[in-house]
């Protein structure tokens, strides 16, 4: 166990149903999975929910009060590592979970619950996992077009597959401690000025087909800087190149924090934003769950599958005939789904959103 979050007392824990969740491997998917945790708790408040998740995600999961214990998955994304998965599952046998819910669709993700001897193992069928699951569901994409719907459906019994869950009731919602915000600012040597704060999130781990052009972000930065806004760039170390380009093109109009924050620090900074502009990325889902005013730029992906789950978000999506292609890089080379989404449209949308 690498972290423990107190949620219920020991007496309640002894009586409650115990569920082990196998976590997704992407920030946005983990944010969306909180809907399932909230749904489970609403059905039975005393249910104990533990989760197996990558170490980098623990700071995010620790902000979700529904989670009891977090177990580290010591395996890099995409690696099989059958022996390590089996050993981890065996180490969890003593926990006596009654059910496992496996959120990834991969075959390997279902190994740990089997090794843990969990009697009810629930998931979408995925990669033909008949031997690993005993509560498998066949996904109807028309019935469940959104990821949040698919996660929530796994929380309902298989005997009532037609039961409709009102997903709007379970939108992710993250709260932050003001003390943690102040600590993050101190550790990053940041001063938040008495002016609106714009945070630009120009990266997207999936690939360049989801990234709005750097010069467009630079134009937005310059426009808001001219209106006396403070502008931050936020992202992972892998987004360093586009962050550098934005700074060059904008004449260093931004405070560049790309690759300089922990995940928890990024959450704390997003919580202070007057406005966030983001590609379809994990940081976008964090901003939505923090209920910050948000503009999301969609290119190769679809807002019908993983939209920002917030009433304070505006989606900009051109719906070209070639999109969504769900490719990492534009198969037609032109990247028109994002290149034709011009900065003027974003600036107009900012004015509409800020007036709300």
Euclidean distance between CA atoms 174 and 346, whole angstroms: 26
Q: Residue 21: which of 90, 73, 59, 63 has the closest Cα? A: 73
For residue 298, the SS3 value is strand
Which DSSP category does 342 fall into?
A: -
How does pLDDT run across 165-192, given as a tens digit for each residue? 899 999 999 989 999 999 999 999 998 9
Share of the chain above pLDDT 90, in %: 76
Interacting residues of 241 by C-beta distance below 8 A, sequence separation 6+: none
Highest mean pLDDT among 205-209, 218-222, 315-319: 218-222
Q: What is the mean pLDDT of residues 63-75?
A: 95
The tens digit of pLDDT for each residue in 98-107 reads 999 999 999 9
Angle at 58 between CA 273 and CA 255, to 5 degrees: 30
Alpha-carbon distance of 51 to 8, in angstroms, equals 16
The model's confidence at residue 163, banded by pLDDT at 50, 70 and 90, is: low
How distant, in Å, are the alpha carbons of 38, 77, 232, 261 from that of 253? 40, 35, 9, 19
- Structure confidence at residue 104 (pLDDT): 95
Dist. CA 144–CA 121, nearest whole Å = 20
pLDDT of residue 11 exceeding 50: no
Range with top average pLDDT, 131-135, 216-220, 350-354: 216-220
pLDDT, averaged across the chain: 90
User: Concatenated DSSP letters for 180-244?
Assistant: HHHHHHHHTT----SS-EEEEE---TT-GGG---HHHHHHHHHHHHHTT-EEEE---GGGHHHHH
pLDDT tens digits, 231-246: 999 999 999 999 999 9
* Three-state secondary-structure class, residue 87: helix
Higher pLDDT, 142 or 208: 142
pLDDT over 80 (residue 225)? yes
Comparing 328 with 173, the larger pLDDT belongs to: 173
Peptide bond into 110 cis (omega under 30): no
CA atoms of 231 and 335, how far apart (whole Å): 26
Regarding beta strands 197-201 and 230-233, do their DSSP bridges make them parallel or antiparallel, or are they unpaired? parallel
Work out the pLDDT band at 9, boundaries 50, 70, 90. Answer: very low
Instruction: Give yes or no for residue 78 having a pLDDT over 80.
Output: no
Q: In angstroms, how far is the first alpha carbon of the chain from the final one? A: 44
Instruction: Tell me which of 60-64, 184-188, 262-266, 327-331 is least confident.
Output: 327-331
- Does position 202 have pLDDT exceeding 90, yes or no? yes
Cβ neighbors of 86 (< 8 A, separation 6 or more) are: 111, 112, 115
296-316 pLDDT, tens per residue? 999 888 899 999 999 999 999
Q: How far is CA 305 from the centre of its chain?
A: 13
Residue 7 has pLDDT above 50, yes or no: no
Task: Say what the pLDDT of residue 262 is.
Answer: 96
Instruction: Give CA angle at 93 (10, 121), nearest 5°.
Output: 100
Helix ranges (H only) for 109-177 are 111-115, 147-153
Which of 274, 315, 316 lies closest to 291, judged by CA? 274
Strand 3-4 vs strand 69-72: parallel, antiparallel, or unpaired?
antiparallel
The answer to whether 121 and 102 are in contact (CB under 8 A) is: yes
**Could you give the CA distance from residue 243 to residue 250 in angstroms, rounded to a whole number?**
11
What average pLDDT does this structure show over 106-121?
95
Q: How high is the pLDDT of residue 300? A: 81
- Give pLDDT tens digits for 258-278: 999 999 999 999 999 999 999
């Amino acid at each position: 166990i690498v972290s423990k979050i107190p949620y219920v007392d020991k007496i309640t824990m002894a009586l409650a149903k115990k569920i082990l969740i196998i976590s997704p491997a992407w920030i946005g998917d983990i944010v969306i999975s909180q809907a399932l945790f909230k749904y489970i708790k609403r059905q039975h408040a005393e249910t104990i929910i533990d989760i197996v998740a990558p170490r980098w995600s623990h700071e995010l999961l620790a902000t979700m009060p529904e989670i009891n214990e977090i177990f580290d998955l010591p395996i890099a994304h995409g690696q099989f590592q059958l022996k390590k998965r089996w050993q981890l599952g065996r180490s969890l046998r003593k926990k006596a979970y009654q059910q496992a819910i496996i959120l990834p669709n991969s075959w390997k993700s279902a190994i740990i619950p089997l090794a843990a001897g969990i009697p009810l193992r629930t998931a979408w069928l995925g990669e033909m996992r008949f031997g690993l699951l005993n509560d498998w569901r066949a996904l109807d994409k028309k019935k469940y077009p959104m990821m949040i719907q698919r996660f929530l459906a796994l929380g309902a019994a298989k005997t009532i597959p037609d039961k409709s869950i009102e997903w709007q009731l379970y939108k992710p919602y993250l709260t932050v401690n003001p003390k943690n915000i102040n600590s993050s600012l101190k550790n990053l040597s940041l001063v938040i000025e008495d002016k609106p704060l714009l945070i630009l999130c120009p990266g997207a781990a999936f690939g360049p087909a989801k990234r709005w052009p750097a010069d467009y972000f630079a134009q937005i930065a310059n426009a808001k800087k001219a209106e006396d806004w403070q502008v931050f760039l936020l992202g992972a170390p892998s987004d360093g190149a586009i962050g550098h380009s934005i700074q060059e093109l904008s004449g260093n109009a931004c405070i560049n924090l790309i690759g300089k924050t922990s995940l928890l620090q990024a959450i704390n900074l997003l919580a202070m934003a007057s406005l966030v502009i983001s590609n379809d990325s994990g940081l976008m889902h964090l901003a939505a769950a923090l209920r910050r005013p948000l503009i999301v730029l969609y290119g190769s992906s679809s807002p019908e599958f993983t939209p920002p789950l917030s009433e304070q978000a505006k989606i900009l999506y051109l719906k070209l005939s070639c999109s969504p292609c769900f490719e990492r890089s534009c198969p037609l080379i032109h990247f028109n789904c994002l290149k034709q989404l011009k900065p003027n449209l974003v600036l107009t949308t900012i004015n509409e959103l800020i007036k709300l």
